[in-house]
Amino acid sequence: MAGNRMDPWIDSYAARAQGLTASAIRALFAVASRPEVVSLAGGMPFVSALDSDRFAEIAARVVREQGAVALQYGSGQGDQTLREQILEISGLVGVRSHPDDVVVTAGSQMGLDLVTKIFCDPGDTVLVESPSYVGALGVFRSYQCNVVHVAMDSEGLDPQALREALVTARASDSPVKLIYTIPSFHNPAGLTQGFHRRQEILAIAQEFNVPILEDDPYGLLGFEGEPPQAIRSLDDQGVIYLGSFSKIIASGLRVGWVIAPHGVREKLVLAAEAATLCPSNFSQLTVSRYLAEQPWQQQIKVFQELYRERRDSLLQSMQALMPAGTTWTVPKGGFYSWVTLPHQLNATTMLPRAISSLVAYVPGTGFYADGQGTHNLRLSYCYPEPSRIEEGVRRLAGVIDAELDLVNTFGIKTSDEAPGNSRPQLNPNSDLF
Amino acid sequence: MAGNRMDPWIDSYAARAQGLTASAIRALFAVASRPEVVSLAGGMPFVSALDSDRFAEIAARVVREQGAVALQYGSGQGDQTLREQILEISGLVGVRSHPDDVVVTAGSQMGLDLVTKIFCDPGDTVLVESPSYVGALGVFRSYQCNVVHVAMDSEGLDPQALREALVTARASDSPVKLIYTIPSFHNPAGLTQGFHRRQEILAIAQEFNVPILEDDPYGLLGFEGEPPQAIRSLDDQGVIYLGSFSKIIASGLRVGWVIAPHGVREKLVLAAEAATLCPSNFSQLTVSRYLAEQPWQQQIKVFQELYRERRDSLLQSMQALMPAGTTWTVPKGGFYSWVTLPHQLNATTMLPRAISSLVAYVPGTGFYADGQGTHNLRLSYCYPEPSRIEEGVRRLAGVIDAELDLVNTFGIKTSDEAPGNSRPQLNPNSDLF
């Protein structure tokens, strides 16, 4: 058995390697791939909505016509033309910058990793939303950061709570290095900061002189009106902006970007070169030509429509089928709704029963560094067809009903939380129903 | 001026960010791209030797026939089929393993970064050859390692010097976490460890219980006989092996791999997921199909012939043209020869004059963490055509001649080293002429 083999190097690892533990999402990927399971777990974009013949033809022309570049090492900062095109895209969320201050990365996860690497010594504090993106928590853990969750309300990150966290941290000996936020169509909370909220958060960050790390993979995938303007559109020195082609073109290309103040950008390029030498020219040039030749804004509209329809299917199914007491957020874009279970049911202990009933989700605890989230779960509507989403919700509602029956009949509660910590993570409000 | 802008975050960076400084190779990329310069600097493989029409056609079919996978997120460890194919390739250098113990990375540089991340706390010691790969030194610096150079002789890493370094380190309070070596066709030294030498080095590593990090990007690019068998072929628990498609297919794909003992592999996958979520399926599936459908072993033979011819051109030109007292290594594979200048001329201060004379190289100091290498330079023969290599050597020989004239006429010496540190890094031996 692999798990039983002795590891001869167990005493040789760095202290940070202790933070490398498997995430709930990771274990779920295997489960979610079984066709009989309706997976509302993974955040995989529906790449089949791309015209793959057209994309194939573009990739082929890149190799045929620019092979000497596409197949070769390139600049550590990324392709110049692509960096200019990235600014066109970022302009849609109000970000103005210079191509010199854009760094192309192997997906925006790499941007997250590099920014953390250059800012955070072990023990430094990072403020994150409550809940926050599981992949970001993994990065912060891998650099031994002190992660502090800050409450959200219906508009996302709560300014009052943010200020309190900064005041508390100032009294400690752990400097706050980053405020990490996903202002638009939050993963996993499904919430979006309004414009005034963004101004408030920025003002507080400026007052305490802490940079904001703005993660914006979903910003162009809103379902109504214009895309929310990035916090970065309000301040080019105080905000480090992360963008990604994973959700607006294709995640399999692994192309994302960072837009950073000049001094940060210089360090980022050097860190990126140490990490991977340079991003893939093969991927970059394919993306660049796709943007140059294809109606990419129309393609984004196709994605918006597709995900809106699936979001509607999820919400309608939940409203029709979910047991009383279950609440959830109403996303206005992106991929996710955040569900709070009734009667403090435990989403982690419920998961094996859900999978037996052929539906998968991500338990809420994965989105916390501190054990919160036991009564929560994340539902993704991005990948399954609407009818499958409805079927998944039906199965999940059945599982929750069965759990509630147990509680009502025998008084057995699957929750294992202490009574003092029983408040749901998100307050009931106009975004919850 | 960009350089004059104040960095508002200058006091916010992590201690490790101090180690992020621009490498000589980086500045040279810009210079080397001017067509009038003969660049013997960069280690860019000659990707134009690939059949790009055929490669284009493969990339197109991957997207057309497997688009739902190629354009999507994948496993953090890498594509299963590709991992099996990687074992076929690694088998050519004697490495036997299981696909479970292979991790696909965005180039082998990423493998280097991740292994260092999981093993090295700040201040931990890494033993490296003298000189060593500039990109590895960048990684070790970025994790605040204590880098100790160990002498080489004509067969590469010197066992006696290795033992002495381990004994010295044992008496210090900095544990040795890794012995980093490039046993075949060393970058930049151009040397290769014989089989007995590999056995000796491994025995010493085992005796001191330190893992070997074996970097083998050039192992299949030998010019005579069978490929050298990897140190990893002798011990699957004590050696972490890094491989790469950059030099045997194409560097622009950014696909490399790590083969690691089971416990290390588990941590590597988690570190890889934190760093980039997963390698690019677009690149991986293209590589995989190329390996499945194309005569890749024949293609490697094409590369071997091509580089052998260029190596011969470099050596013949140097023998014919270099001023007396100049010495160099004779590579039996790979991309590089390591040159020692006569009269302790300084390769760094000579570089601007070389570039004025339209030839570029990498000064030796880039390959040391401790300021050694002033009288050395690295010449790459991988990219220019043979006639351009000859022209480059002619120009370089002229620059060295002019420097020697200055010394002989005026007694001016460009060397700025203290007398006590004036021994060349490589002893004259049968590999030098």
Condensed to tens digits (0 to 9), the pLDDT of residues B4-45 reads 458 889 999 999 998 786 655 566 556 666 889 999 998 999
Position with higher pLDDT, B352 vs B296: B296
| Least reliable range by pLDDT among A18-22, B108-112, B121-125 | A18-22
Q: Cβ separation of B20 and A50 shorter than 8 Å?
A: no
Closest approach of chain A CAs to the CA of B358, in angstroms?
Answer: 22
pLDDT(B382) > 70: yes
**Closest chain B residue to the Cα of A139, Cα to Cα:** B274
Closest approach of chain A CAs to the CA of B382, in angstroms?
Answer: 13
Tokens encoding A220: 């162009």
Q: Cβ separation of B44 and A73 shorter than 8 Å?
A: yes
Best residue in B33, B116, B276 to probe A by mutation, most A CBs within 10 Å? B276
**Closest chain B residue to the Cα of A43, Cα to Cα:** B73
Q: Cβ separation of B282 and A74 shorter than 8 Å?
A: no
Average pLDDT score, chain B: 92
**Residues of chain B with C-beta less than 8 angstroms from the C-beta of A109:** 274-277
**Residues of chain A with C-beta less than 8 angstroms from the C-beta of B282:** 59, 250, 252-254, 282-283, 286
Cα(A179)–Cα(A239) distance, integer angstroms? 9
**Taking the CA atoms of chain B, what radius of gyration do you get in angstroms?**
22
**Residues of chain A with C-beta less than 8 angstroms from the C-beta of B26:** 76, 273
Average pLDDT score, chain A: 92
**What per-residue confidence (pLDDT) applies to A415?**
47
Confidence band for B106, pLDDT divided at 50, 70 and 90: very high
Q: Among partner residues B44, B57, B263, which is closest to A7 by beta-carbon distance?
A: B263
Q: Cβ separation of A71 and B44 shorter than 8 Å?
A: no
Give the angle A285-A289-A290 at the CA atoms, nearest 5°.
Answer: 115
**What per-residue confidence (pLDDT) applies to B241?**
98
Identify the DSSP state of A232.
G
**Residues of chain A with C-beta less than 8 angstroms from the C-beta of B13:** 118-119, 267
Distance (Å) of CA B261 to CA A26, A298, B296: 21, 48, 28
Helix H or strand E segment including A180: strand A176-181
**Residues of chain B with C-beta less than 8 angstroms from the C-beta of A261:** 7-9
Residue B118 exposed, middle or buried by CB count within 10 Å (0-12, 13-18, 19+): buried
Position with higher pLDDT, A42 vs B58: B58
Confidence band for B415, pLDDT divided at 50, 70 and 90: very low
Mean pLDDT, range B170-191, rounded to an integer: 97
A187-215, pLDDT tens digit by residue? 999 999 999 999 999 999 999 999 999 99
Q: Cβ separation of A67 and B52 shorter than 8 Å?
A: yes
A91-124, pLDDT tens digit by residue? 999 999 999 999 999 999 999 999 999 999 999 9
pLDDT(B169) > 50: yes
Q: Cβ separation of A56 and B68 shorter than 8 Å?
A: no
Mean pLDDT, range A216-241, rounded to an integer: 97
Look at the block and give the residue holding tokens 């796709």. Answer: A290
**What per-residue confidence (pLDDT) applies to B27?**
63
**What per-residue confidence (pLDDT) applies to B419?**
38
Whether B135 has its CB under 8 Å from any CB of chain A: the answer is: yes
Using a pLDDT cut of 90, give the percent of chain B over it.
87
A407, A410, A416, A418 alpha-carbon torsion, rounded to 10°: 90
**Closest chain A residue to the Cα of B274, Cα to Cα:** A139
Whether A4 has its CB under 8 Å from any CB of chain B: the answer is: no
**Residues of chain B with C-beta less than 8 angstroms from the C-beta of A44:** 72-73
Q: Among partner residues A70, A177, A275, which is closest to B110 by beta-carbon distance?
A: A275
Interface of A with B in 26-85 (CB under 8 A): 26, 29, 42, 44-45, 47-48, 50, 52-53, 55-57, 59-64, 67-76
**What per-residue confidence (pLDDT) applies to A56?**
98
CA A238 to chain centre: 21
**What per-residue confidence (pLDDT) applies to A412?**
63
Whether B382 has its CB under 8 Å from any CB of chain A: the answer is: no
**What per-residue confidence (pLDDT) applies to A25?**
52
Confidence band for B354, pLDDT divided at 50, 70 and 90: very high
B82-93, pLDDT tens digit by residue? 999 999 999 999
User: Is A142 in contact with B274 (CB distance < 8 Å)?
Assistant: yes
Q: Which spans in B277-385 are helix H? A: 281-293, 296-321, 347-356
**What per-residue confidence (pLDDT) applies to A413?**
60
Cα(B223)–Cα(A68) distance, integer angstroms? 24
**Closest chain B residue to the Cα of A70, Cα to Cα:** B252
Best residue in B66, B72, B208 to probe A by mutation, most A CBs within 10 Å? B72
Whether A251 has its CB under 8 Å from any CB of chain B: the answer is: yes
**Closest chain A residue to the Cα of B249, Cα to Cα:** A71
Report the b/e string of A33-65 with b at 16+ CB within 10 A: eeeebbbbbbbbbbbeebebeebbbbbbbbbbe
User: Is A282 in contact with B287 (CB distance < 8 Å)?
Assistant: no
pLDDT(B107) > 60: yes
**Closest chain A residue to the Cα of B1, Cα to Cα:** A262
Q: Cβ separation of B67 and A76 shorter than 8 Å?
A: no
Residue B225, phi then psi, degrees to nearest 5: 65, -160
CA A4 to chain centre: 34
Cis peptide before A188 (omega within 30 of 0): yes
Q: Cβ separation of B121 and A15 shorter than 8 Å?
A: yes
**What per-residue confidence (pLDDT) applies to B424?**
31
Cα(A105)–Cα(A114) distance, integer angstroms? 9
User: Is B350 in contact with B414 (CB distance < 8 Å)?
Assistant: yes
**What per-residue confidence (pLDDT) applies to A279?**
97
ipTM score for this prediction: 0.92
Cα(B273)–Cα(B262) distance, integer angstroms? 17
- Cβ-Cβ pairs closer than 8 A, A with B, add up to 284
Whether B111 has its CB under 8 Å from any CB of chain A: the answer is: no
For chain A, give the number of residues: 433
Cα(B364)–Cα(B346) distance, integer angstroms? 9
| Least reliable range by pLDDT among A9-13, A152-156, A407-411, B246-250 | A407-411
Confidence band for A389, pLDDT divided at 50, 70 and 90: very high
Q: Beta strand A256-259 with A327-328: parallel, antiparallel or unpaired?
A: unpaired
Q: Among partner residues B107, B250, B267, which is closest to A276 by beta-carbon distance?
A: B107
**What per-residue confidence (pLDDT) applies to B407?**
87
Cis peptide before B228 (omega within 30 of 0): no
Best residue in B61, B62, B282 to probe A by mutation, most A CBs within 10 Å? B282
pLDDT(B242) > 50: yes
Confidence band for B410, pLDDT divided at 50, 70 and 90: confident
DSSP B202-252: HHHHHHHT--EEEE-SSTT-BSSSSPPPPGGGG-SSSEEEEEESIIIIIGG
Tokens encoding A145: 């950061």
pLDDT(B155) > 50: yes
Best residue in A9, A112, A115 to probe B by mutation, most B CBs within 10 Å? A9
Q: Cβ separation of A274 and B138 shorter than 8 Å?
A: yes
Q: Cβ separation of B113 and A138 shorter than 8 Å?
A: no
Q: Partners of A328 in the beta sheet?
A: A339
